[in-house]
Amino acid sequence: MNDDFENHLRSQPMREVPPHWRSRILSAAQTEPRRPRWLEWLWPAPQAWAVLGAAWVLILAFYLATPDDPASGRSYAMTAESYGALEREQLMMAKLLGSSDEGEAPAAVPVAPKPRSERECKQLAG
């Protein structure tokens, strides 16, 4: 029964394609322009590529539209021009501070080593 039934179904002929479809479908297909190769390369995810491209354009536009920080620009210029003067100024300040601080610095208080660190030192030495 199984094979006979399936064979009987298989023997039922399907309808033919309406003959006028051939010219209609083929002419519709042939009037379509062939996609350029570079577009075919993008094809797997054209929207993803478009979004990625748009994101880059936005980033670039944002970068170009943002004004440079004037302070940082000047500081770069100063570094080049008056680095020597700044260094001299810093040296003088250090001397002044050093002379006023002399003798006033508190003596270092000896700190007894903690038992744990002592133990570790002994272990390391041993």
Q: Tell me which residues touch another protein (CB under 8 A).
A: 1, 4-6, 8-10, 12-18, 21-22, 24-26, 28-30, 32-35, 40, 43
Q: Which residue, 10 or 122, is less far from another protein as judged by CB?
A: 10
| Residue 50: C-alpha distances to residues 2, 38, 47, 65 (Å) | 55, 14, 5, 22
- 99: which DSSP letter? H
Q: Which residue, 24 or 74, is less far from another protein as judged by CB?
A: 24
**Please, what is the minimum distance in Å from the beta carbon of residue 43 to another protein?**
7
CB 35 within 8 A of CB 43: yes
**Please, what is the minimum distance in Å from the beta carbon of residue 8 to another protein?**
7
Q: Which residue, 24 or 95, is less far from another protein as judged by CB?
A: 24
- 18: which DSSP letter? P
Residue 53: closest CA among 63, 64, 44, 42: 42
**Please, what is the minimum distance in Å from the beta carbon of residue 16 to another protein?**
7
Q: Which residue, 35 or 95, is less far from another protein as judged by CB?
A: 35
Could you identify the residue written with the tokens 């006028």? Answer: 20
Residues 6+ apart with CB under 8 A from 43: 35
**Please, what is the minimum distance in Å from the beta carbon of residue 51 to another protein?**
22
